[in-house]
Structures are given as C-alpha cells and as structure tokens.
Amino acid sequence: NWYFMFISTFVIATAGAFVTEKIVEPRLGTYSNDEASIDLGEQSMDKPTDQEMKALKAAGLTFLLVIGVLAITIIPDVDLPGFGILLNPDTGEVSGSPFLKGIVVFIFISFALTGFVYGRVAGTMKNDRDVIDAMAKSIGSLGLYITLVFFAAQFVAFFKWTNLGTVLAVKGAALLQFLGLDGPEVFILFIIMCAMINLSLGSASAQWAVTAPIFVPMLMLIGFAPEVIQAAYRIGDSVSNVITPMMSYFGLILAIAARYQKNLGMGTLIAMMLPYSMIFFVIWTLLFYIWVFLLGMPVGPGAETYYTP
C-alpha cells in the first residue's frame, strides 16, 4: 500500500490541521494556566538566546558526528580501520549484526551526548550532578503516565480475557457475509466494521490476524485483490485509534493532556478527539474510492485492484 499511504499522509495531515484550527481549538475556549496540574512557567516557548542558538548548533554537529561514526561501522567492503566492524561477521550484512543488537544503546548514546553538549554550551549543565538532576526530573514527570498505564493495562488484560474483541470481529464478519454485497460499496461497510472492531481490539496485528482469514478470502471471491483489501483495513484500523482506550498510547496522551487540564478525564479526551476520527473516516474513505475505483491507480508497487477467482 506504499503509493496510497504516501498520498494519504499529505491528505490526512491537511485534514488534521483543518480540524484542529476550525473545530477542536475553537471548542476549547480561552486557556488559563490555572487549569494546569503542573507549573507551566518552565515550559514557556521563549525565543532562544544567542547562547542557546550556539548550543543548538553544537548539539546538531555532535549528533551528525555520532551518526557518521555509527554509519562507518556498517559500511561494507572498505579496507580501512573501523569500517564495517559492526556488521554480521558471518554474512557481512546488517541483519543479525551487533549493530542491530545494540541499537538501543546506540540511540541512548547519541541523544545523551547531544543533550550533554547542548547543556554544556548553554550553561545549564556544568558537571555530572546537573546531568543526573536533569535525568531525574525527566523521569519524575512520568509518574502520572506510569500510574495511568498500570490501571489501563489491567483493563486491557481483563477485556482480552473475555475475548469480546474476537467475538465482535467474527460477528461483524458474519453480518457482512449475510448482506451479500459484491461491488465496491462493500468497502464502506468493511471500513466501518474495522473501525468498530478497533474500539475493542486495539492491536492492529491481532485485529488483522482475526479479520484477515475471514475477509480476505471473502472479498477475493467477489473479485478484489488482497492489496486493496488491506488498504481498506488500514483505514478502518486507523480512524478510530484516537478514540479507543485500547490504543497503546492512549494512557500517554491522557497523561500529557492532564498536565494542562487537571480535571481532564477519559470521556473529555475522547470527545475532543471524535471530530478527528469522523473527518478522517469521511476524507480517507473518499480518497480510497477516488484513488482505487475512479482513477484506477494501484495502491502499491505491482498491486492489482481486481482479482480473478
């Protein structure tokens, strides 16, 4: 679905900006710092000073230097010291190499060095104690998120134990089969059904594992290629992500939003995100029909629209 998803990024980004500017932001009203659960004084977006701009440039150069060093370690077929030393010693490829096995460490080192250089040049980090205090402060801000995720995880685990998500997926498939639609209009119901299932079965891979064995053969029998079916599935799976508590990042979004609105609850957040879900559904579905059935464009490299059983 590379072609279709590439175009979708620009369309959805534009639609999201429109919803934010014209619908969601006006509904929020005038904001006051008294509504926040933390002191927002340290989070003000002031214009960077000359010293901070100098620190940003130094941090950027440090980051590029680290990336350059790491790139050297995975460049093959160069007879110079250090080149390719982190490649797989057996195959000479990146796959299964020490580089991939240590990628988390490399990411940490890259951003830790970049952050330290910025703090050193900007004057906010003068010694190792300042580094430790900055890290402790960042970790301390995760307290609310960890608490929310703990209880959210219990809810998701209990819901998974009931198997209601799987039951809803199977029943939805049975309903779609019962309706007996065999034209392009079947994808409207298919997208709606995937969006509804996503409300109770948050994992995209788990949802695809449940729905694909049912819907892919069914829709192929009426003449649609698997690539088109998966593109429609990704629309349905995506448009309801922002309004389902089953989404992995819902707790993180709620925790961050609660910093600025101390009385914010799950219902308020879902109501705030609902316009995005509705507009994305309409626009993305229209784009799907225009791209696939009106223009006859492939959804990806070598992908067909129709399938002959």
Question: Of the spans 89-93, 158-162, 272-276, which averages the highest pLDDT?
Answer: 272-276
Least Cα distance to 274 among 26, 29, 19, 35 occurs for 19
Buried b (16+ CB within 10 A) or exposed e, 120-157: bbbeebeeeeebeeeeeeeeeeeebbeebbeebeeebe
Read off the pLDDT band of 67 (50, 70, 90).
very high
Structure-block tokens of residue 50 = 């000359």
Q: Is 244 within 8 Å of 236 (Cβ atoms)?
A: no
DSSP state for residue 33 in the 8-state scheme: G
The yes-or-no verdict on residue 59 having pLDDT over 90 is yes
The yes-or-no verdict on residue 239 having pLDDT over 90 is yes
- Least confident window among 140-149, 225-234, 259-268: 140-149
Nearest-angstrom CA–CA distance, 248 and 77: 42
Least Cα distance to 282 among 188, 181, 182, 199 occurs for 188
The yes-or-no verdict on residue 1 having pLDDT over 90 is no
Structure-block tokens of residue 299 = 């959804």
